[in-house]
Every structure is written in C-alpha cells, then in structure tokens.
Amino acid sequence: MSKENNGIENLDITTPPGGHVVVDKSGKLEFTITVYTENQVGLLSRIAIMFSRRKINVESLNTSPSEIENIHRFTIVINEYEDVVRKLCRQIEKQVEVLKVYYNTNDELVWQEVALYKVPTGIIADIVKVERLLRQFGARVIAITKDYTIFETTGHREETDRLIKVFGQFGLIEFVRSARVAIIKDSSGFHEKLRQFEAREPGEDVIENEYLNQQDHIFTM
C-alpha cells in the first residue's frame, strides 16, 4: 500500500501497515518520504525548511538525480505519526518545483545504506580473521595502506551497526554511513509517467552562479 500524496483515496488511510515497521518509544513509525523534483538551486533548503518548521528531526536525507534526466529525487527518513507525515507530504507537494511525493513504511520499500569502516591494518592483519568477517557481513575491502584498511558494507542500519561493534574491538579509527537510498516496491506507474512527462516537457537546465570566480575581473562600486 504505497501512498501517494495527491489522491482523494488516501484520505482514508488509518491503519498503519504491519511487517518490518520500525516503531519508536513514542509510537511513531519510521517513514521514508520520496520526493520527485525539478533540478533547481535552492530546493533543498525549501524542502528542509518544511521539516525544521515543524521541529521534525530528519534521520537521513539523500538527494540525487533520478533515472530521468533533470528530475531529482529526495529520499528522506523521519520518525513520525502517519497523520503528520501525510500532511507534511501534502505541504511538500504544494511547492512549485515539486512533481510528486510518496511516503512509505519500511515494508513497502527496498532500501540500503552504505557504511565505510577505517581500521588499523596491522591489527586487522594480525588478529582478525578477515576472511570470515567479510563473508559473515558481506563486506568488501576497498582500500589498503600500511596504516589502515577501509571496509565497505551495504545494508540496513542494524546490519551496518553490527560491524561497528566488531571493528570497535579492533581499534576502529573512523566510521561513516550514507543516507538511505530506497526504491518503492510499488512505484512502476510513476516511473512511466515521469518518462512521458520528461519527453513531453523537457526540464530546464540548472542555472548556477557563473560569476563567482570572476571577482578580480569585475569592477564594482
């Protein structure tokens, strides 16, 4: 039950879906909001403000081009009550440069996060049974120097968290995790619409400030 934010039919959604739904202590669910937008300078700020105005903490935010040229896709994770999320999505969809907004619970998505772990090469080489570790966590080595080794793993948060504990014992130097990227299981319809849309009305190119590096060449008052 993927929920669009532009249909009357969504007005009656009352039952939160079951499955792998994350519920926090206050009873809020983890929702992933997917926003399709024009590719425009300033839109990130306009969307971020929608959350901060309501004092909603964004757990993770990813913005990237979508499969269609000139259309960008925001993936935003928050913990909230469904009613709040629905209203929030309507407000986001109201923005002039926003094409479409969906919100979903975790069971309605396929999602991943990338984590990188920097650990001392010496310890890893001497103590850790690297091969076993890598198999167990589906991790990959992506850089090795004499000082450190960087491992990468991809998965849900609880999966990437587990590896922190392991590496924590062996002098984890640095850890970083990406924002969530997610594909809605049930959104093939919109992909088609997007394609037709872009073919019919190609998007405009982004106009950035081309004068920023010309300071020395321009006389000003």
Partner 1 sequence: METLEIKEKEKATASIQNISGSQAVLEALVAENVDTIFGYPGGAIMPIYDSLYDYADKLKHILVRHEQGGIHAGQGYARSSGKVGVVFATSGPGATNLVTGLADAMIDSTPLVCITGQVFAHLLGTDAFQEVDVINITTPVTKWNYQVTDATEIPGVLAKAFYIAATGRPGPVLIDITKNAQLQKFDYEGYKKCDHIRSYRPKPIVRKKYVEEAAKLINEAKRPFVIFGQGIILGKAEKEFKAFIEKGGLPAAWTILGLSALETDHPLNVGMLGMHGNYGPNVLTNECDVLIAVGMRFDDRVTGRLDKYAKQAKVIHLDIDPAEIDKNVKATVPVWGDCKETLPMLTKLIEKKNHKDWISKFHEHIRKEAEVVIKDELNPTGEVLTMGEVIKVLNELTDGNAIIVTDVGQHQMVTCRYAKFNQSKSNITSGGAGTMGFALPAAIGAKYGAPERTVVAIIGDGGFQMTLQELGTIMQFDVDVKIIILNNQFLGMVRQWQQLFHEKRYSFVDITSPDYIQLAKAYKIEGRSICKREHLKNALNTMLTHKGSYLLEVMVGKENNVFPMVPQGRGVAEIILSKEEL
Residue ranges in contact with partner 1 by CB under 8 A: 6, 8, 11, 37-38, 41-42, 45-46, 49, 53, 86-87, 90-91, 93-94, 96-99, 197, 201, 203, 207, 209-215, 218, 220-221
The residue (of 53 and 135) whose beta carbon lies closer to partner 1 is 53
Q: What is the closest distance, in whole angstroms, from the C-beta atom of residue 42 to partner 1 in the complex? A: 6
The residue (of 132 and 207) whose beta carbon lies closer to partner 1 is 207
Q: What is the closest distance, in whole angstroms, from the C-beta atom of residue 144 to partner 1 in the complex? A: 40
Contact 31, 78 (CB under 8 A): yes
Pairing mode, strands 58-65 and 140-144:
unpaired
Task: Give the number of other CB atoms < 10 A from CB of residue 99.
Answer: 20
86-93: long-range contacts (C-beta < 8 A, 24 or more apart)?
A: 86/3, 86/5, 86/10, 86/13, 88/33, 88/50, 88/51, 88/54, 88/56, 89/5, 89/33, 90/5, 91/50, 92/5, 92/33, 92/35, 92/47, 92/50, 93/5, 93/6
| Contacts (Cβ under 8 Å, ≥6 apart) of 147 | 120, 121
Q: What is the closest distance, in whole angstroms, from the C-beta atom of residue 186 to partner 1 in the complex? A: 22
The residue (of 13 and 133) whose beta carbon lies closer to partner 1 is 13
The residue (of 17 and 203) whose beta carbon lies closer to partner 1 is 203
Q: What is the closest distance, in whole angstroms, from the C-beta atom of residue 92 to partner 1 in the complex? A: 9
Q: What is the closest distance, in whole angstroms, from the C-beta atom of residue 39 to partner 1 in the complex? A: 11
The residue (of 99 and 119) whose beta carbon lies closer to partner 1 is 99
